[in-house]
Structure 1
Amino acid sequence: MKKFFVFLAKTIGSVVGLIVLVVFSIFAVARFSDGPIGNGPPIEMVTAGPFKTGELQVGGDEPDWSFLKDYPIVQFQLLDPPRSRTTFIMETEGRIFIPSGYMNSTMGKIWKHWPMEAEKDGRALLRVDGKLYERKMVRIEEGEILNGVLGELSRKYAGGFPVSQENIDSGDLWIFELEPRKN
């Protein structure tokens, strides 16, 4: 019987060790990849390396962002620190916005550092369909535009369940506008 428990302990230890190794490997590979990896949660939610590919869009007028109305996700990269991630995006009145929810939750406090980093230095790149757009992330906490932004957040990601200004006022939901960046 003792041999069985020793065997069981070794097997469980090996399985746990293998899981830890796989998770560590995913995080390590992601940090050196060209943007977020994976084709769906949870892997695509892992913070990844800086963009290495993409056609930088320069000059001219601001793009017509209405094509993002029904895009479920996009990728963005902060310039400092140079890391990328996958996120939701909302388009309202020709302007684009990125949400960060669960900011007051324990998991949000552990997992989400990018909102504070974006507030400190909002320089970012947005990557959509292989095109890179230089942007500046600016946190929005009030204003009439938020009615449309929260409506879009509700429509696209909350199944129509209303998302209110109270979520922003409590600090649980942060909204960033991706404004044009003038280097």
Structure 2
Amino acid sequence: MKIIKFFVYSILFAALIVGGVLFGARFADGPLEIIAGGPFRSGELVTGPEPDWSFVRDLETVEFQLERPPRSRTTWIVEHEGRIYIPSGYMTTAWGKIWKQWPLEAERDGSSILRVGDQLYQRQLIRRKTGPEVAAVVALIAEKYNIPATPEAVASDYLWLFEMAPR
């Protein structure tokens, strides 16, 4: 009986710690790796002409923040023909439907901020389901991240693709 009580208390303690980390992350300056964080408080807003986004080819991840609700995340990014895109996979799975709320929020209001290093870029997330760029962007995602991404995954809603367009 003592062993069962020990395990129950251990599980409750672990759940309390995880819950505390998840709650506390909402007040952080950006995400904590895979844990969504609070709104950006640091970084310099870049204004002026659209940058040459080719530098993101060498980056594994970037951070972005939705403005409504003001939460930030870490994500993958690819560049194609001067435009940048971020994916969200597992959207038709039970895990994706529970864990991934940001794509639904972005589809309602795509106002966002991209943070690369200490630079902030105001962007508008636009979901891309079809178009000539979809196959090329998905191929870049598959190559860069060594995953089996396909245009069919986008067509079936398993993989959501967002362009990070200028505002």
Question: Which residue number corresponds to residue 158 of structure 1?
Answer: 146
C-alpha deviation, 1:81, in angstroms: 0.6
Q: Distance in 1 between matches of 2:92 and 2:23?
A: 27
Q: Which contiguous aligned blocks of 4+ residues in structure 1 show a shift greater than 4 angstroms? A: none
Q: Secondary structure at the match of 1:69?
A: helix
Match of 2:43 in 1: 54
The 5-angstrom pairing of residues 165-180 of structure 1 reads 165-180=151-166
Residue 140 of structure 2: SS of its match in structure 1? helix
**Is 1:126–1:133's contact at 8 Å kept on the other side of the alignment?**
yes
Q: Normalised by the size of structure 2, how large is the TM-score?
A: 0.96
1:16 aligns with 2:4: no
List gaps (5 residues or longer) in structure 1. Answer: 38-43
Task: Indicate the residue corresponding to 1:90 in structure 2.
Answer: 78
CA distance in 1 between counterparts of 2:135 and 2:150 reads 8
TM-score, scaled to structure 1: 0.88
What residue in structure 2 maps to residue 145 of structure 1? Answer: 133
- Contact in 2 for aligned 1:70/1:156 (Cα 8 Å): no
- State the match for 1:36 in structure 2: 31
Deviations 1:19-68 (A, max 9, x none): 1011101101110100011xxxxxx2112110111100012x11110000
Checking the alignment, whether the CA contact within 8 Å between 1:104 and 1:172 is kept in structure 2 is: yes
1:109 counterpart = 2:104: no
Instruction: Tell me the percent identity.
Output: 47
Number of equivalences: 167
- SS state of the match for residue 58, structure 2? coil
**Residue ranges of structure 2 left out of the alignment (5+ in a row):** none
Cα drift, residue 165 of structure 1: 1.3
RMSD of aligned residue pairs (Cα, Å): 1.0
